[in-house]
A and B are shown apart, each in its own frame.
Chain A
Amino acid sequence: MTLSGCILLASALFATGVYGLLTRRQLIAVLLSVELMANAANLSFVAFAHFRGGPAAQTFALFAIALTVAEVAVGLALVMLLYRTYGQTQVDTAREMKG
């Protein structure tokens, strides 16, 4: 368990999230992929906090976790509003403004 190992694990997790973000077509599945990516970022924060020390690093990870939870709440509210307006929640549901 080294710093490089932890960062590589976070990178792999982030790449998996990018894959989901690029290929999923359901909005909630896209939100899941965003969660994966945020989780990877948090993991790298904690890894650096463990191996580099310093009290601020863990604080940053804590703030990032709270921000992600707020983002999920607002994102799901938007998805529910979209479902109520259009009756479906695909990524290309709202395209009235598309030129």
Chain B
Amino acid sequence: MMSVAFGAVAACMLLSAFFVVRAANLVHAVLWLGVTLATTAVVYAMLGASFLAGVQILLYVGGVVTLMIFGVMLTRRHDGAAVVVDNARPGRGAVAAAALFGVLAAAVVRTDLPIGDGMATTAELGKGLLTTHVVAFEALSLLLLAAIVGALVIARRRDPGAPSPKPLHRAARPLEPATSAGPEDRS
């Protein structure tokens, strides 16, 4: 029963992943990515990682897909047309991807994967995050802060009429007539 359900979810995941890389409309590709991530959350839940399944839904399906939709909408003109996206040289890409999958599958099938004992519960996970891995946890929060500030700085709309920042202003000052006529002018 469990393996049948796993097979069905895996088929859904691979099919939606195929549509992510083949859809001709970019918005559809983003929505198919949402389906892929949601089915991944289902697999997490089937594997007993309920906390990670929740995080996957919250962060990926809720956050990343919304962010991607915003990205698609903000990087084109608002004419209401479908966002066309094409695949260049699909044959070569398919050959490369199939070869990679062949190598990985051969390695997985040939390797003897020993089975250990059970999975950590969410309580153990939380305790580990705040005791053993607390340094990594804090470093991660710093990284998220840096990423958010960096994304804001990069994507900020710069107004061409606004005064430029301080260093540029100072460098431009010697060219002004008021300072060139001053007593300290050596040029």
Contact = CB atoms under 8 A, between A and B. Distances in A.
Interface string A34-50: 01100100110011011
A68 B104 CA distance: 23
B29 A9 contact: no
Interface in B53-86: 55-56, 59-60, 63-64, 67-68, 70-72, 74-76, 85-86
A41 B18 CA distance: 17
B68 A58 contact: no
B36 A36 contact: yes
B26 A36 contact: no
A15 B93 contact: no
B105 A8 contact: yes
Interface in B72-108: 72, 74-76, 85-90, 92-94, 96-98, 100-101, 104-105, 108
Main secondary structure of the interface of A (DSSP, over half): helix
A15 B21 contact: no
A53 B117 contact: yes
Contacts of B75: 28, 79-80, 83, 89
A51 B148 CA distance: 35
B37 A66 contact: no
A32 to B, nearest CB: 5
Interface of B: 2-3, 6, 10, 13-14, 17-18, 20-21, 26, 29-30, 33, 36-37, 40, 43-44, 46-49, 51-52, 55-56, 59-60, 63-64, 67-68, 70-72, 74-76, 85-90, 92-94, 96-98, 100-101, 104-105, 108-109, 113-120, 124-125, 128-129, 132-133, 136, 140, 143-144, 147-148, 150-152, 154-155, 157
26 contacts: A3-B113, A9-B43, A13-B13, A16-B17, A18-B97, A20-B21, A25-B86, A25-B87, A26-B85, A32-B21, A32-B68, A36-B33, A43-B40, A43-B44, A50-B47, A53-B117, A55-B128, A58-B52, A59-B128, A69-B63, A70-B148, A73-B67, A73-B147, A76-B70, A80-B155, A83-B75
